[in-house]
Amino acid sequence: MKIVNTVAEVREQVKEWRKQGLTVGLVPTMGYLHEGHKSLIDRAVADNDRVVVSVFVNPMQFGPSEDLESYPRDMDRDAALCEDAGASLIFHPEPSEMYHDDFSSFVDMSTLTGGLCGKTRPIHFRGVCTVVSKLFNIVTPDRAYFGQKDAQQLAVIRHMVSDLNFGIEIVGCPIIREEDGLAKSSRNTYLSPEERKAALVLSRSLKLGKKLIEDGEKDARKVIAAIRGEIEKEPLAKIDYVEIVDWNTLEPVESTEGEILTAMAVYIGKTRLIDNFIK
Amino acid sequence: MKIVNTVAEVREQVKEWRKQGLTVGLVPTMGYLHEGHKSLIDRAVADNDRVVVSVFVNPMQFGPSEDLESYPRDMDRDAALCEDAGASLIFHPEPSEMYHDDFSSFVDMSTLTGGLCGKTRPIHFRGVCTVVSKLFNIVTPDRAYFGQKDAQQLAVIRHMVSDLNFGIEIVGCPIIREEDGLAKSSRNTYLSPEERKAALVLSRSLKLGKKLIEDGEKDARKVIAAIRGEIEKEPLAKIDYVEIVDWNTLEPVESTEGEILTAMAVYIGKTRLIDNFIK
């Protein structure tokens, strides 16, 4: 496995693979890889001849008061995980390689990005769409892999790929959880032992909501109220949002029938965590 | 030469060419082709094994009061010109093929697009960047060809390709003029005989400005004033803008030294015409 830092090196390697008729999968990440990322790489290795993992904490998707500086990084561990999982190349650029001094272009969309996480993170999806477009153009993969943990991101990327005619298959992969239910996230490392326990309220309340729906509750507002009630019992938790939306349009729904996304963002202390289920 | 209307047909054809190891050039147009377009196709045919010409009057780059509906169209003549010039494929999609009902993505930039034509056409370059991104993703050409007549568009596309890492070479081609100096444009067809004569004021005044600079005039304001003075002699002409800007940043300059773009948009009756020179 190679680790490269420049766009030119990635292009050269992919060109070489293409000459040999090999297929290429891309797993875009911000590094500090965990079992969730590993599941994406595993799937990409199964589907493609060669797999590129990008490791880049993208400044453009962080708001001014967010955790860009403190976002955890551990390139040695990331490299070992990628190598073990069978990736062929890590692309680990400096911000200056991705954003030259007079950089000013962006990719954005007028639907899907305003609600859910977009409410508290207004420039986030513009940053995501822009950097993912860049990675798509640099790597030109056959397939790209995104976790359902970032459900809105997955929906946004799928929509962007369709709108802008990227010739790339987007593969969404299931949420990977700790044994006690907490969705794997690089940001879990921010949690104190006490907060780590409190963070279980996300998966626990979602499970409750899912059961209500499975038991026949059709009124989305009632399901949301039950989930909120469960979260509010936890003193360390502060709700950013709990919403039930159409999985394709991400518009709020009144009924729990059809393909819906139940999603939440909850602060545990200062750490903002997200979780969801799709049914 | 084939004419196709769907994205899928273009992809299939390009895939076939790629299998044969052939290079592909793209000439994006809005149709009603003239000698200016022909010069782009000629250059593309010289540089590439296969050439795709897209013919699409892109609704997204027209403002609400602009000439989307009246924009001239003549597919039979366009097809004959492309075939004569040696193009291999025309991509002529319906708007619904390019913009499905829930289309909402866009590509834009925060520099280069606000001045010059961007002042009176505020959504124009967003439409251009978006449709060109789509065409790049559909055709995946090695090279794409743009006329210097639309100088701001050429600068914007070059900047977008660099920012978003499109692996495509952008080739700018010189302005083609009528024998009397008028820059070729599909919109010249809007001009009455009287307006057609008045329209010569664009190239004539630019020539005057160019001579002033060649004779040593360093003050951009003085050159602009001379050009404006010449245009104002023509009763049918109404200036939209006359500007001298840095050719890379499109920011106004005070001195005529360095690589500069002298550009204008002038209404002749109701028809808005543009012209420029780069030195």
Domain boundaries defined on chain A: 2-173, 191-271
Q: Which ipTM was obtained for this model?
A: 0.96
| Per-residue pLDDT tens digits of chain B, which is 279 residues long | 999 999 999 999 999 999 999 999 999 999 999 999 999 999 999 999 999 999 999 999 999 999 999 999 999 999 999 999 999 999 999 999 999 999 999 999 999 999 999 999 999 999 999 999 999 999 999 999 999 999 999 999 999 999 999 999 999 999 999 999 999 999 999 999 999 999 999 999 999 999 999 999 999 999 999 999 999 999 999 999 999 999 999 999 999 999 999 999 999 999 999 999 999
- Whether residue B126 lies within 8 A of chain A, CB to CB, comes out as no
**According to CATH, what is the number of the domain A191-271?**
3.30.1300.10
Q: Cα–chain-centroid distance for residue A25?
A: 17
Q: Judge whether A237 and A206 are in contact, CB under 8 Å.
A: no
Residues of chain A with pLDDT under 70: none
Structure tokens at B212: 């002033």
pLDDT of residue B211: 98
CA distances from A216 to A165, A209, A245 (A): 39, 11, 17
Which of the residues A97, A105, A135, A137 would you substitute to probe the B interface, choosing the one with the greatest number of B C-beta atoms within 10 Å? Answer: A105
What are the pLDDT digits (tens) for A65-124? Answer: 999 999 999 999 999 999 999 999 999 999 999 999 999 999 999 999 999 999 999 999
Enzyme catalytic residues of A? 37
Helix or strand or coil: residue B4? strand
**Distance in angstroms between the alpha carbons of the first and the last residue of chain B:** 38
How far A103 CA sits from the closest chain B CA (Å)? Answer: 6
CB contact under 8 A, B164 and A11: no
CATH 1.10.3210.10 correct for A2-173:
no
pTM of the predicted protein model: 0.97
Could you give the percent of chain A with pLDDT greater than 70? 100
Q: Judge whether B244 and B220 are in contact, CB under 8 Å.
A: yes
Residues of B in contact with A110 (CB under 8 A): 104, 106
Question: Judged by CB atoms within 8 Å, which residues 73-102 of B form the interface with A?
Answer: 100, 102
Q: Which regions of chain B does DSSP assign to beta strands (E)?
A: 2-4, 24-29, 50-55, 89-91, 105-109, 143-147, 169-173, 237-246, 260-268, 271-278
Q: How far apart are CA B55 and CA B74, in angstroms?
A: 10
Between the CA atoms of A97, A102, A107 and A108, what dihedral angle is there, to the nearest 10 degrees? 120
Give the relative orientation of helices B220-232 and B200-214 as an angle to the nearest 10 degrees: 150
Structure tokens at A224: 């949301």
CA distances from A2 to A51, A71, A74, A81, B29 (A): 11, 24, 17, 13, 42
What φ, ψ does residue A62 adopt, rounded to 5°?
-105, 135
Point out the residue among A105, A129, A138 whose CB comes nearest to the CB of B163. Answer: A105
Which of the residues A111, A126, A129, A164 would you substitute to probe the B interface, choosing the one with the greatest number of B C-beta atoms within 10 Å? Answer: A164
Amino acid at B121: R
What φ, ψ does residue B219 adopt, rounded to 5°?
-85, 110
Residues of A in contact with B142 (CB under 8 A): none
Mean pLDDT value across chain A: 97
CB contact under 8 A, A106 and B111: no
